[in-house]
Structure 1
Amino acid sequence: MKRIKIGMLVFPGFQLLDIAGPKDAFAEVKVLSKGECEYDMMTVGTTRGTVQSSSGLTTVPDRTIFDTCPEFDTIIVPGGLGIFDAFDDPALSDWLRVQHRQCRRVSAICNGLFALGSAGLLDNKTVTTHWMDVPRLASTFPKARIEPDQIFVRDGRIYTTAGVTAGIDLSLAMIEDDFGRQMALDVAKYLIVYLRRAGGQSQFSPLLETQASPGSQTVEVQQYMLENLHVGHTVASLAEHVHMSARNLSRIFSKDCGITPMTFLANARIDAARRYLEATELPLREIARRCGFDDTDGFRRTFLRRLQINPAEYRDRFRSKTMHEKVG
């Protein structure tokens, strides 16, 4: 029987699903292989005694980072709000560096990669994390190369994922590495999840976070764009609407929002298209028209390029159970 030993770190405030999801996925391998393959999983605490998760449920770790541990093949560090109290603990960093030297792979789910960064394991590595933690990650570990829209990234022996449920994506990728695609597919079918999720985190994160604050000079032009997405705007036409020069509008808009007016418009059009796909049965050509795309083909290409999923697939996956004919 092939057995792979996995160490799963737990710290006060860890995200329970980051551990429970992969544990359930890994456990199914033994069941589905009829005992021919198995993951031997062990929890390792950063403190002695019980460890409380962010949801309030507690676990008693099998070992702590202060104990002698078996030689792990794989280390998994979960995320959770507690990581920001734990990630720069010198004892944890030392333990992770030792594990990195000894293990075949070291992985982090969601913002658990802050612990890897503090141990110096993210330098010059391509990584991902939950989209909400990207700015903090970039400022804390500037040597890390961040792919903010990816759900799962592997760079050598370092594996990182986006938030929470992406831990299941991580476990399926590891199962495929260890026991083949068919086993990973069988586990995915049993769990009723996708073996490979199409698209990136932009499907789930707000595309309009860059709206200007009330009272900003750019609020009027943003509101005008949002109410008239179907119009073929240019920087010059937008500037004329708010009685500015095109150069001055671009300067003020970029200062207030961090992006150009035309980038904001492109984001707004995609966001509106998402809402139509989720909440209506409007045909694609009508959605394209309402959102300011030249034609249906251009709409499909832009949507696919931005979200890595085409409009029809997005509608099938995310549309509301109670569908209305129109929104807005």
Structure 2
Amino acid sequence: MRKITVGMVLFPGFQLLDIAGPRDAFAEVRILSKGECEYEILTVGTTRGTIPSSSGLTIVPDRTIFDPCPPFDTVILPGGLGIFQVLEDSTLSEWLVRQHTSCRRIAAICNGVFAFGAAGMLNNRTVTTHWMDAARLSSMFPKAKVEPDLIYLKDGGIYSTAGVTAGIDLALVMIEEDFGKKMALDVAKYLIVYVRRAGGQSQFSPLLEMQAAGDSQIQNLQQYLLDNLHLNHTMASLAERLAMSPRNLSRIFSKECGVSLIAFLNDARIDAARRYLESTDHSVGEIAKQCGFESVDALRRIFTRRLRISPADYRQRFRSNDITRPELQKPLRPPLTGSVS
């Protein structure tokens, strides 16, 4: 029998699914291999006694970071609402650094990666986290390169993932590394999940998070664009609307919003397109016209490049069976002659 020892760290307020998902995936390996392969999993608490999860369910850990532990092959740290209360815990930071030095791989699920940053483990590393925490992670640990759209990422012996259910994606990656692709596929089939999830986090997250200050010229322009996505906007026409040069508009927009005007417009069009895909029966061609794409091919190209999933696949995955949004069912506008892209 081949046995791999895994330590799962628990802190008050940890996300239960971050632990339960990978643990169930690992447990299936022993069943599917008929006992020839096994993950031996120990939970390690940051405090003594019962540890509450963020959902209120509690776990009594097998060990604590104050106790002797067996040599771990793999260490996994979950995320959760409580992670920001343990960032200044020097004992946890020192324990993580020791494990990183001695074990084969160490992983953080969701915002658990903040604890790696607090321990000084992210310098010159490329990592990911939940899309809602990506900007905060970049701000707190500027020496880390944060990739906000990835479901999981591996940089040397440090693994990081997006939020919550991405812990299962992580476990499947590890199972494939340890016991081969067939085993990972068999576990994925049993759990009824994809062994490799299509697309990145952007398919779940809103794209338009960067908004200008209220009542500014740029904020008014943003609203105008959102209300008129079907029009054939150009940098020159928008600059003329604000009585400034295209170069000055480009500079001011990027400064106030953190993204270029063209990136904002494309993201706005993609967000609108996916609302139509989720909530209407409109064809992809009709949606392309309504959202300001110059052609069906342009919509498919930009949509797939940004979300890493095609419009057709997106509609299949996210379409609501109860189409109840009349504002999206209005007649579509005439075809466009072009768009910013």
TM-score category of the 2 structures, normalised to the smaller one: over 0.9
1:74 aligned partner: 74
Overall identity of the aligned pairs, in %: 67
Q: CA deviation at 1:169?
A: 0.3
Q: CA deviation at 1:248?
A: 4.3
Q: CA deviation at 1:90?
A: 1.0
2:338 aligned partner: none
Q: 2:184, 2:111 → 1: CA distance?
A: 25
1:196 aligned partner: 196
Q: Cα gap change, 1:210/1:10 in structure 2, threshold over 3 Å: closer, same or farther?
A: same
1:157 aligned partner: 157
Alignment partner of 2:132: what SS?
helix
* Contact 1:184-1:195 at 8 Å conserved across structures: yes
Q: 2:264, 2:271 → 1: CA distance?
A: 10
Aligned amino acid, residue 25 of structure 1 = A
TM-score by length of 1: 0.96
2:339 aligned partner: none
* Contact 1:212-1:218 at 8 Å conserved across structures: yes
Q: CA deviation at 1:299?
A: 1.3
1:323 aligned partner: 323
Alignment partner of 1:153: what SS?
strand
5 Å-filtered alignment, 1:171-250, equals 171-250=171-250
Q: Runs of 5+ in structure 1 lacking a partner? A: none
Q: CA deviation at 1:239?
A: 2.5
Q: 2:243, 2:143 → 1: CA distance?
A: 43
* Contact 1:217-1:252 at 8 Å conserved across structures: no
1:3 aligned partner: 3
* Deviations, residues 96-153 of structure 1 (Å, cap 9, x unaligned): 1111121110000011111112222211111101111112211221111211111100
Q: CA deviation at 1:285?
A: 1.0
Q: CA deviation at 1:269?
A: 0.5
TM-score by length of 2: 0.92
1:111 aligned partner: 111
1:314 aligned partner: 314
Q: 1:116, 1:261 → 2: CA distance?
A: 35
2:260 aligned partner: 260
Alignment partner of 1:131: what SS?
coil
* Deviations, residues 201-256 of structure 1 (Å, cap 9, x unaligned): 11111111123343222232222211221211012211323444434433443333
* Contact 1:216-1:256 at 8 Å conserved across structures: no
Bigger drift between 303-312 and 248-257 goes to 248-257
* Contact 1:234-1:262 at 8 Å conserved across structures: no
* Contact 2:49-2:61 at 8 Å conserved across structures: yes
* Contact 2:217-2:242 at 8 Å conserved across structures: no
Alignment partner of 1:207: what SS?
coil
RMSD: 1.5
Q: 1:257, 1:128 → 2: CA distance?
A: 22
Alignment partner of 2:143: what SS?
coil
Q: 1:67, 1:327 → 2: CA distance?
A: 62
1:123 aligned partner: 123
* Contact 2:126-2:146 at 8 Å conserved across structures: yes
Aligned amino acid, residue 64 of structure 2 = T
1:274 aligned partner: 274
Q: 2:128, 2:28 → 1: CA distance?
A: 27
Q: CA deviation at 1:2?
A: 1.1
